[in-house]
Chains A and B, each alone.
Chain A
Amino acid sequence: MHFEPSFHKRYHKALRDQAMIKAVKLGTGRLRGQRATAVEAVGKERWMEFRDRAEAIRLHVIQHLDQYLEQLVDNVLKKGGHVCLAKTGEEAVQYITSLAKKKNAKAIIKSKSMVSEEIHLNPALEKEGCNVIESDLGEWIIQLAGETPSHIIAPAMHKNRLQVAELFNAVSEEKLSTEIADLCGFARKHLREKFLGIDIGITGCNFAIADSGAITLCTNEGNARIISALSPTLVTIMGMERILPSIDDLAVMLSLLARSATGQKLTVYNTLSTGVRNEEELDGPQEFHLVIVDNGRSKLLGTKYEKVLNCIRCGSCLNACPVYRNIGGHAYGWVYPGPIGAVLSPLYQGIDKFGELAYATTLCGACTFACPVKIPLHDMLYALRNDKVELEKKGELAEDIAYKGWSAVFATMSRYRFSVRMARRFQFPLVKAGKIAYGPPPISEWLKHRDMPALPDQFFHEIWPNLHQDRKE
């Protein structure tokens, strides 16, 4: 999917697509409402304890990431699984495409993996002549549409049934109705055929368990479970931070994940797999490959952004965000939308490309409060802005000058009082009926949709002496 490089152009395009916005509002509204109900059922205090515990678990893991990854690698290798340590996305893609070539694999089926989107795996495999099909319903819909997911949990949230029917009709022999049950029935049938003829199955990884060399996969549809049972060769792609020490840590995370994402107590299918099947087993992979991807994650370790690696990809920050629900996921311009995307995109892809996203927020903090692992997302957005203008000196000149001026004026009482009196005296060309009626940018931007009061005849500091006098009596 090609993204327009300017965030402003992207979001303006999004704002014009009212059908899409309506769908996103419906989706996020439903999800965050369900989450709120689930949190209430757990109890506010207990939920806070859960979050504190999860944060502590993740913090420990991130600070000892090398140890846990080494343990995982050794345990996977011991059980006969292969491991690829991919420092870059390209290395991961290279490994998987070579594997596909070696196996002469034509039929490749995938379950949801955000990392695979990040490293652009599908196009590379398709270039090798493989047929790659997404098995998660939402992912399949956007694959047919040639788009990237617009929401971490509901990839096709921005689409309505008419659009989905159109996409499905392009691959269906019979014409389908626009009834959702029919569309899902078609997807089940079509994808079931693919499940029965897999050369290579590719999954993501919700959580890797270091002490047992196991991979946890969570889906509501059951597609990941089917893939890991029926793929002769199974590949699991894992962001290197998606790891926990043991299965008791997993119990905490699973309890938070489903409730945060959709308000469910648990995702319908949670699978714990250790990779290659035993000699006696008939189902399960004969060959297992764990591809551990760095792709910029290790650069965040030891920095003020380290905590962003806590993320369990639940999407609750998206559902909480007033900006996300009014512009949808594609406006963010990369694989990760919403608040988490606004932080990850500049960190992974550079401030030059995605620095604008740090401003795509009202800094309301709803994301931080929704986050089950307590990532201080809004603080990171402040920090990214600081990085941009002060550390990397990539701010706009006009703004740099404006704030220099601001600090000069506001640090000195006499300058402040003089400036505001001058502003009041000379605002009259802009004023009509007590309101600011016209103004240069940025005031004109405000005025597009809202009234703004003019500076009044008296400032509070001018009235104070009288108030103070009254008091004395």
Chain B
Amino acid sequence: MHRRGKNLKASLFITCIADLMYADVGKSVVSVLKRSGVELDFPEGQTCCGQPAFSSGYYKDTAIVAKKIIDVFENSEMVVIPSGSCAAMIHHGYPILFKDDPIWRKKAKDFVEKTYEFSQFIVDILGITDVGAVFPQKVTYHSSCHMTRILGVEEQPKILLQNVKGIDFIELPYSFDCCGFGGTFSMKMADISAEIVEEKVNHIISTGADVLVGSDLTCLMNISGRINRRGIPIKTMHLAQVLDQRGEKHAF
């Protein structure tokens, strides 16, 4: 792990879901990183890490897109990605995709070594545990599966959250349990997925929190989708959005 001073150069890999559905989260990611002294760029040509096709077993189709992504970020010194599962896909899935191709295997390895999940980047690379955010709310946090088990990033988001001024952080029971999304599983086996997300939502309700925070937008889309369907007044925010709060206005 290398630590550097301010004005670090990094590239943002926004992820397809944030790009298409949660631009506000992207805004907060940029804002938080800027404030932390990062010179951020946004390489054109970025689309998707390839998880949907990879999880469905279509490695060849995934590789077509993955190669494009690797090329897009070729000149980046570091890549920051506000999604645990996408970072995990790159770290775990890309080596599998290219294991029999010596050229792309090397390129994938280089890409893996410079790619960080958002909270991992702030805590481990920038060495910052308090971004100066203010958010006096009752908050709980869902630990997404791929981020914790596959990428191995567990504590960093919680450290950042717990240092937010005014925050009332409540530990989520079974926070490491899956939310039930599982990619196409949420639609192919929607009824099972619904049971799993119901368990998660009930745990969230039991904390008494007003806000659910997470690091993975697919998990959050899934959980908030169920929360909203049930008409429960719990807000859902990405970690970046919380870290972007300065206490000035009702942010959400």
Residues of A that sit less than 8 Å from B by CB: 8, 11-12, 15, 21, 322-323, 326-327, 359-366, 368-369, 382, 384-390, 395, 399-400, 403-404, 406-407, 410-413, 416, 420, 435, 441-443, 445-446, 448-453, 455-456, 458-464, 467-468, 471
The reply to whether the CB of B18 lies closer than 8 angstroms to some CB of chain A is: yes
CA distance A390 to B195 in the complex (A): 31
Cβ-defined contact, B196 with A458, below 8 A: no
Report B-chain residues with C-beta under 8 Å of the C-beta of A460: 14, 18-20, 22-23, 26-27
Residues of B that sit less than 8 Å from A by CB: 14, 16, 18-23, 26-27, 30, 34, 40, 42, 44-45, 47-48, 50, 52-62, 64-65, 68, 96, 145-146, 149-150, 176-178, 180-197, 199, 221-222, 224-226, 228-229
CA distance A212 to B168 in the complex (A): 60
CA distance A343 to B158 in the complex (A): 34
Given A365-B146, A410-B47, A455-B21, decide whether A15 and B42 contact each other with a Cβ distance below 8 A: no
Cβ-defined contact, B187 with A446, below 8 A: yes
Cβ-defined contact, A450 with B48, below 8 A: no
Cβ-defined contact, B34 with A463, below 8 A: no
A-B contact pairs, 30 of them (CB 8 A): A15-B191, A323-B192, A360-B189, A362-B181, A362-B183, A363-B145, A363-B182, A363-B185, A364-B146, A366-B149, A366-B176, A368-B149, A403-B53, A403-B61, A407-B61, A410-B47, A410-B50, A412-B68, A416-B47, A442-B188, A446-B187, A448-B194, A449-B190, A450-B226, A451-B228, A452-B225, A460-B20, A460-B26, A461-B42, A463-B23
Given A363-B183, A407-B65, decide whether A451 and B146 contact each other with a Cβ distance below 8 A: no
Task: Give chain A nearest CB distance to B139 CB in angstroms.
Answer: 21
Task: Give chain B nearest CB distance to A130 CB in angstroms.
Answer: 40
Nearest neighbor of B31 in chain A, beta-carbon distance: A467
Report A-chain residues with C-beta under 8 Å of the C-beta of B56: 385, 389, 399, 403
Task: Give chain B nearest CB distance to A403 CB in angstroms.
Answer: 4
Nearest neighbor of B177 in chain A, beta-carbon distance: A322
Extra A-B contacts (14), CB below 8 Å, given A322-B199, A326-B199, A451-B225: A15-B191, A21-B195, A359-B185, A362-B180, A363-B146, A390-B59, A395-B57, A403-B56, A413-B44, A413-B45, A449-B191, A451-B224, A460-B20, A468-B42
Q: Point out the residue from B20, B68, B185 that lies within 8 Å of A420, measured CB to CB.
A: B20
CA distance A399 to B62 in the complex (A): 13
Most buried by B among A368, A382, A403, A471: A403
Cβ-defined contact, B55 with A382, below 8 A: yes
CA distance A26 to B26 in the complex (A): 41
Q: Point out the residue from A387, A412, A452 that lies within 8 Å of B221, measured CB to CB.
A: A452
Q: Point out the residue from B53, B178, B199 that lies within 8 Å of A407, measured CB to CB.
A: B53
Task: Give chain A nearest CB distance to B155 CB in angstroms.
Answer: 13
Cβ-defined contact, B19 with A461, below 8 A: yes
Nearest neighbor of A15 in chain B, beta-carbon distance: B191
Cβ-defined contact, B229 with A364, below 8 A: no
A-B pairs, top 6 by smallest CB distance, nearest first, are A362-B182, A385-B57, A450-B225, A442-B187, A364-B178, A449-B194
Report B-chain residues with C-beta under 8 Å of the C-beta of A407: 53, 58, 61-62, 64-65
Report A-chain residues with C-beta under 8 Å of the C-beta of B150: 365
Task: Give chain A nearest CB distance to B48 CB in angstroms.
Answer: 5
CA distance A101 to B180 in the complex (A): 52
Nearest neighbor of B63 in chain A, beta-carbon distance: A407
Cβ-defined contact, A362 with B145, below 8 A: yes
Cβ-defined contact, B190 with A445, below 8 A: yes
Report B-chain residues with C-beta under 8 Å of the C-beta of A441: 187
CA distance A449 to B195 in the complex (A): 9
Report B-chain residues with C-beta under 8 Å of the C-beta of A453: 21, 221
Task: Give chain B nearest CB distance to A436 CB in angstroms.
Answer: 10
CA distance A416 to B228 in the complex (A): 30
Q: Point out the residue from A327, A406, A412, A449 that lies within 8 Å of B226, measured CB to CB.
A: A449
CA distance A264 to B58 in the complex (A): 42
Given A365-B150, A403-B58, A411-B47, decide whether A359 and B21 contact each other with a Cβ distance below 8 A: no
Report A-chain residues with C-beta under 8 Å of the C-beta of B96: 382
Q: Point out the residue from B14, B42, B50, B178 that lies within 8 Å of A366, measured CB to CB.
A: B178
Report B-chain residues with C-beta under 8 Å of the C-beta of A449: 190-191, 193-194, 197, 226, 229
CA distance A396 to B225 in the complex (A): 28
Given A322-B177, A420-B20, A452-B221, decide whether A471 and B47 contact each other with a Cβ distance below 8 A: no
Report A-chain residues with C-beta under 8 Å of the C-beta of B190: 445-446, 448-449
CA distance A461 to B185 in the complex (A): 28
Q: Point out the residue from B20, B27, B221, B229 that lies within 8 Å of A455, measured CB to CB.
A: B20
Cβ-defined contact, B177 with A410, below 8 A: no
Cβ-defined contact, B229 with A458, below 8 A: no
